Structure 1
């Protein structure tokens, strides 16, 4: 049963692909029909009908470079330069062969020359020669465009409104540069905040250090008290100066009494034993 299911699914996929292919083939044939009708309309000078037919052909087959190129040529013949420029750009982007790219870039250069956009004309002719280096007409047009560009250099602040791709690329680059600048400024701001924080921490540390230093100093009241003479406090186990003085006076008095007694005994001729034991 599983094998049958896979086979059925594969058959359905092939059938769907075949239907899509058939639908695409019908659209391609219809596009070719509209292109043929547009060509006949141009020969009869029915430009509006030709323009509509070419648009239908491009809508049915967007990959068709020929319809875009032919419509660009039709616009160019009617001096609708902006419309022709757009179609030649599309043709150059869609073209697969070098011959088709060469024709699209060559005519695109011609539209830029009509608009006096010589810088873009030079670039278009260069692209045309990259795809066909042997085309003398393109080489001549390139030399003419360079000469006109040298004689008429673009102003420094010249902006081409129709050159949307270059303007958008320039704007995107400016936005990227601005984003990078903002990121750098944000990083700078963070660095400044960090630096300010470090400075604040250093000031705080310095303040704390000063407070600790101030704590080691005596207060003003203590300094004033230190200017006053301090009374000597007695030390336990030691005699005070007053006590020592009293003791010495007592010893001197006792010795004086003893000496007087000895002198008195000598006068009597009697030897007197001294009571002094120190």
Structure 2
């Protein structure tokens, strides 16, 4: 069996399979090739070998288990989850069952599905109470679940706080917009009044200017009147002068 270390997300691999005698030689050969590629960290190539073995014998539990491992290493957690879950439910071998539940727990843990991972590690420990890795990861999953819930609570509070602040900001903005609108309205009214006064003043000036202006006919009439007055004035002066001369001529010298 591959060695375990006390680190979270450690996968359990089943023993090397060339000693197994439960399947056809061709299936065992494919699994051995898969194991060799897996040890070289050539996980996609190992997956191909395991799938070929699966195709030849779908009930061969070791190829199912190792196929889950190869998918997990490629971060195909959903794919790994399917194979580990199926094996955990179907296998009758306690060792396979414990290891399948353990790896399933790690798969959930990688997806931050902490409640599911806790349940899987508990099932693993039911089948192998001595597993230190399962105990370690169970403790870690519980710690992460607590942290996750605290973060969710904090996020909810922040969301509520942000929503309240956004509503307040919106109200303040609406108030500011309304004040600006009112001020613009006042300014417009003031401008309209000023324009009206200016217009009235211009109309008054134009009216006065119009009164001061006379038509050419009126100007001619006034000029004619002045000429007539001038003629009448000259006539009066002539008469007065004639009278003066006449009066002077009648003076008797004693």
* TM-score bracket relative to the smaller structure: 0.3 to 0.5
**TM-score (norm. length: structure 2):** 0.47
**TM-score (norm. length: structure 1):** 0.43
Q: Which has the higher contact order (CA 8 A, sep 6+)?
A: 2
